[in-house]
Amino acid sequence: MASVKVQVDRKPMDFAAARAPIWCPGCGDYGILEALRRALAEVGARNEDVVLVSGIGCSSQLPHFMKTYGVHGIHGRILPVATAIKISNPRLTVIGVGGDGDGYGIGLNHFLHAARRNVGVVYIVSNNQVYGLTTGQMSPTTLKGVKTKTTPYGSIDSPVNPLALALSAGATFVARGFSGDVAHLAQIVSEALRHRGFALVDVLSPCVTFNRINTYDWFRARVYKLESAGHDPADFEQAYRRALEWPTLDPYGKIPIGVFYRREDLPAYEEEVARLLGGRSPSEAPLELTREQLAELMSHFG
């Protein structure tokens, strides 16, 4: 956000498209949509400077309900598209939005590489621990033992831990929110938007239609805020230990939400690209080669 022009007196509804959301009543994605609008207003973003990139899934419809630029892409390919946009024009605020199946299943490889490269993209993942759009199959984050359409006897897989993976891959901003607490989630997203580099915001987002285990009440009984527990987001080891806190079907397990880890001292990937181009982004570089550049290029072909 540092290089993007800001506009004062922004309101969340300034980012609302004319088309109304079509999610199931009570879907956690409504909370994510509202939190994102609030966060963009909070940081003073201009509509024309924001690009939302999504994949496939219920949550990936979100760009259609925002008055910004948007790319509704294919399954698991949110981050390659978002990376290309951010590299091409670093002045844009680029936000990836998708589900746990999209991001932690078919898109997991791209997630790890975007994190290690420190691409200046905010990645918001609606984590409802089930494939909602395709009517309730097990997802990468489904808890072990949970019965779904594809695990009628209970899942025997251990769930993916996205926060631990992001930290291990080198992400410079790692956070988790809860769509049942929109004000807290909006605060997290605002911090992510101001961050220099890759920012993961994993959101506990209940699927009220196909996940009858991980409900709003289930999460409310377990979540606690890291800032209330004296957590230091600059402490990597502490962040990793917190990331490992996750209940199985144990009724006494707790789930931390908030900013787990943050560091601002590393250059973002798009900054490194601009450095190679003499301080210019690809969108600022001339399209034509000079005679000297063409001669240098042709010299490599004998």
> What pLDDT was estimated at residue 284?
78
DSSP 31-78: HHHHHHHHHHHHTT--GGGEEEEE-SSSGGGGGGGBSSEEEE--TT-H
Lowest-pLDDT choice from 36-40, 89-93, 245-249: 245-249
Q: Is residue 75 part of a domain?
A: yes
Report the C-alpha gap between 150 and 141 in whole angstroms.
Answer: 14
Q: Is residue 176 part of a domain?
A: yes
Report the C-alpha gap between 203 and 182 in whole angstroms.
Answer: 11
Q: Is residue 106 part of a domain?
A: yes
Mean pLDDT confidence for 19-30: 95
Indicate which CATH number applies to the domain containing 27.
3.40.50.970
**CB contact at 8 A, 130 and 148:** yes
Mean pLDDT confidence for 261-288: 88
Give the chain's domain count.
1
> What pLDDT was estimated at residue 8?
78
The share of the chain scoring above pLDDT 70, in percent, equals 97
Mean pLDDT confidence for 271-275: 92
Output 281-290 pairs: Cβ under 8 A, ≥24 positions apart.
281/87, 281/88, 281/89, 281/90, 281/91, 282/87, 282/88, 283/88, 283/89
**CB contact at 8 A, 21 and 33:** yes
**CB contact at 8 A, 61 and 80:** no
> By residue range, what is the domain housing residue 233?
12-301
Q: How confident is the model at residue 4 (pLDDT cuts 50, 70, 90)?
A: low
Burial (Cβ within 10 Å: 0-12, 13-18, ≥19) of residue 193 = buried
> What pLDDT was estimated at residue 277?
84
Report the C-alpha gap between 121 and 196 in whole angstroms.
Answer: 9
Q: Enter the pTM of the model.
A: 0.92
* pLDDT tops 60 at residue 7: yes
Residue with tokens 């690009």: 51
For 205-252, write each residue's pLDDT tens digit.
999 999 999 999 999 999 999 999 999 999 999 999 999 998 865 667
**CB contact at 8 A, 92 and 2:** no
**CB contact at 8 A, 96 and 90:** no
Q: Is residue 277 part of a domain?
A: yes
SS3 240: helix
Burial (Cβ within 10 Å: 0-12, 13-18, ≥19) of residue 22 = exposed
> What pLDDT was estimated at residue 285?
75
Q: Is residue 5 part of a domain?
A: no
> What pLDDT was estimated at residue 2?
47
C-alpha distances in Å from residue 53, one per residue of 2, 56, 220, 221, 234: 20, 11, 30, 33, 29
Q: How confident is the model at residue 1 (pLDDT cuts 50, 70, 90)?
A: low
Q: Is residue 2 part of a domain?
A: no
Mean pLDDT confidence for 161-167: 97
Which is more confident, 75 or 259? Answer: 259
Which is more confident, 133 or 224? Answer: 224
Amino acid at 58: C
Lowest-pLDDT choice from 139-148, 204-213, 280-289: 280-289
Mean pLDDT confidence for 150-175: 96
Residue with tokens 């698991």: 76
> What pLDDT was estimated at residue 102?
94
* pLDDT tops 60 at residue 174: yes
Q: Is residue 1 part of a domain?
A: no
Report the C-alpha gap between 61 and 198 in whole angstroms.
Answer: 22
Specify the pairing of strand 199-204 against strand 223-225: unpaired
Selection from 138, 146, 156, 162 nearest residue 213 by Cα: 146
> What pLDDT was estimated at residue 250?
61
The share of the chain scoring above pLDDT 90, in percent, equals 83
Q: Is residue 169 part of a domain?
A: yes
Q: How confident is the model at residue 282 (pLDDT cuts 50, 70, 90)?
A: confident
